[in-house]
Structure 1
Amino acid sequence: MIDEIDQKIIEALADNARLSIKELAQQVGLSSPSASERLRRLEERGVVARFTVDLDLRAIGYPLQAIVRIRPLPGKLHIVQRLIEDIPQITECDKVTGDDCFVARLHMRSIEQLDEILDRIADKAETSTAIIKTQPVKRRLPPL
């Protein structure tokens, strides 16, 4: 479990992972050594797994996003999973229950690139694609 101070640390870092220990300590009402120790313990427990950067992928040439539901053909599950893992434009993928086995998020430079990617798995899986228009809810933490 996490306590109220851990929750404040997590929320502050989720908002800005580049906070200095001094800034973090000020935001959560601790001394710098105490904040540093709390953060170290959160990392050791695996609560904080990494610090990352949030890129605007449009700004670096990836204006299109799609969600692709993937249903491997019989006997092709492991082959399709390896293909998914090897396609760098697939930035996230979940193995799910239900009719589909995978739900993948792709970032692409063009619709033509989407076709090329889907063609790589077309003989091994059925796909259903939705182009993302907007993202009303960005990735966020669930209630802590």
Structure 2
Amino acid sequence: MLDETDRKILNVLSKDAKASLKQIGDACFLSSAGVHLRLKKLEEQGIITGSKYILDHSKMGYQTQSFIGVYFDRANIYRKVSKALYAIPEVIECSYTTGNFSLLIKVLCRDNKHLTEILSNQIQTIEGIARTETFICLEQTFQREIELN
């Protein structure tokens, strides 16, 4: 179980993965060594599985973000289709869902033409995909981690 100090550490890191041990310690009233030990414990427990930088994709030429609902033509092909989708670099998230779609994927492309190519030539050609429904994201208002209380 996470105690209050663990939650504080995780909240600091979720806002800034580059926070120093001293910054985290100041926020949690711990020494840098204490923070280090806690982080090591959280990693060993699998609660922290890594860290990453958040990229501004639009500044790198990727202007079109979309969510695509994927419908299967038959049951029991989730893993096979997911593996094929993973091989497409533009597919950056994939979730097995309840509801109308079998999968909901997030796709990042340079523009609408690039999205059309990815859809027509890669995603919709995967065996087992019956059809797709695409939602183009006009603006991502925010993205965040959950605040731990």
- Length-normalised TM-score, structure 2: 0.88
Structure 1 unaligned runs (5+)?
none
Assess if the C-alpha contact under 8 Å between 1:80 and 1:125 holds in 2. no
> How many aligned positions are there?
144
State the partner residue of 1:40. Answer: 40
SS at match of 1:43: helix
What is the CA distance between 1:142 and its match in structure 2?
4.9
- Partners of 2:39 and 2:75 in 1: how far apart? 45
Assess if the C-alpha contact under 8 Å between 1:22 and 1:32 holds in 2. yes
State the partner residue of 1:84. Answer: 85
SS at match of 2:145: coil
Matching of residues 84-103 of structure 1 within 5 Å: 84-103=85-104
State the partner residue of 1:66. Answer: 66
- Partners of 1:142 and 1:29 in 2: how far apart? 19
State the partner residue of 2:144. Answer: 139
Matching of residues 123-138 of structure 1 within 5 Å: 123=125, 124-138=129-143
> What is the RMSD of the two structures over their aligned residues, measured on CA atoms?
1.7
Assess if the C-alpha contact under 8 Å between 2:64 and 2:115 holds in 1. no
Structure 2 unaligned runs (5+)?
none
What is the CA distance between 1:22 and its match in structure 2?
1.8
Assess if the C-alpha contact under 8 Å between 1:80 and 1:121 holds in 2. no
State the partner residue of 1:122. Answer: 124
- Partners of 2:41 and 2:31 in 1: how far apart? 15
State the partner residue of 1:19. Answer: 19
| 1:140 aligned partner, one-letter code | E
- Length-normalised TM-score, structure 1: 0.90
1:39-59 CA-to-partner distances (Å, cap 9, x unmatched) read 111111111111111111111
- Partners of 1:62 and 1:40 in 2: how far apart? 36
Q: Label 1:129 to 1:142 Cα distance change in 2 as closer, same or farther (>3 A).
A: farther
With a CA cutoff of 8 Å and minimum separation of 6, indicate the structure with the bigger relative contact order: 2
